[in-house]
Amino acid sequence: MTTTASPRRYRPPVPLGGRRGPELRRAELRRADARRAAKAYAFLGPALLIIVGFVFLPAIQALVTSFTDASGFGDPAWVGIDNYVDALTSASVLRALLNTVLYAAMYAPLVILTGLGAALLLNRDDIPFRGFFRTAIFLPFVISMAVASIAWSFLLDPDLGLVTYWLSLVGVHLGDVFGTAATALPAVTAVAVWKNFGYFMVIFLAGLQSVPRHLYEAARLDGAGRWRTFFAVTLPGLRSTMTFVVILALIGAFQAFDQIYIMTQGGPDHATETLVYRIYTDGFRDFKLGFASALSYLLLLITLVLGLIQLRINSRHEEELE
């Protein structure tokens, strides 16, 4: 007796793009994203730990300290906003703020204009040894401000300084520029400009490379001269770069400390005492850590407001162009 097996029903395989295909692809994509995220956090982890440990946590601690009478000795007592009120009503602090504003008003325009001028000059193709001059101008930025301040203190010494001696040969007698109230702040500013304008030159050079070449060709075809081309093509093309440079220069100006500490110690007669130098003296010389912390956050607020104002001006101009 023979039996005939019932024929098997054919079931085609489920294609990869069938019912389970999208689910598998989504699961694989999720696993791939998880692996990439794990690798990214593994690389970023050490840097994030350093930032949290050495930036955010000390900043939070300083904010808490600014509401106390901490001196570094004993248990601090909570004083609320008294430190901020004292800072805003203190004549010496207001004078330090005025010195900081005067320093910024001199430093920022000078370092920007000298950096821009050097960039425009060394961006030309007909300048020989451009690489050498770019390196030579940028080199002072590599030197620390402390070393530069010590060097210029010797160079401008009224008795032994080489620069003072060379100028005296042509009839220019500087005198003690760091010991005179009228010249101390401009002299300190000049040293900072000499050290940092090469850095701004490099930033402007990068910005000049991004300005489209065809705009200059169109300006020449229209008969525009150098000044007209500069104001109509170069400056508009450098607007975003200029915004960054202005913010950077102002922040650097409001953080001036090294050269003042080395060359003038805030003198003569508090003529070069800035907010950062005042924070140092209050916190580490007079042991008024709470008051110094309050000054630090007032300085942070000032620089933040200046940066936001500049960014707002730039964004409004971009909206007008659109």
Q: Which two tokens stand for residue 109?
A: 């325009």
Higher pLDDT among residues 183 and 314, named by residue: 183
Over residues 133-156, mean pLDDT: 93
Sign of CA dihedral 58, 64, 67, 70: negative
What integer pLDDT is reported at residue 321 of this predicted model?
Answer: 58
Strand-pair partners of 78 = 68
Contact 192/107 with Cβ under 8 angstroms? yes
> DSSP code of 234?
I
> In angstroms, rounded to a whole number, what is the distance separating the alpha carbons of residues 180 and 151?
19
Nearest 5°: the CA angle 222, 204, 311 is: 95
Over residues 289-296, mean pLDDT: 94
Higher pLDDT among residues 130 and 113, named by residue: 113
Q: Which of 195, 198, 197 is nearest to 259 (CA)?
A: 195
Query: Residue 167: how many CB atoms within 10 A of its CB?
Result: 14
Angle, in degrees to the nearest 10, between helices 289-321 and 239-254? 170
Q: How confident is the model at residue 1 (pLDDT cuts 50, 70, 90)?
A: very low
Q: How confident is the model at residue 122 (pLDDT cuts 50, 70, 90)?
A: very high
- Which segments of the chain does DSSP mark as H helices, in order? 21-51, 57-65, 82-89, 91-122, 130-142, 145-155, 162-169, 181-209, 213-221, 226-229, 235-237, 239-254, 258-263, 275-280, 289-321
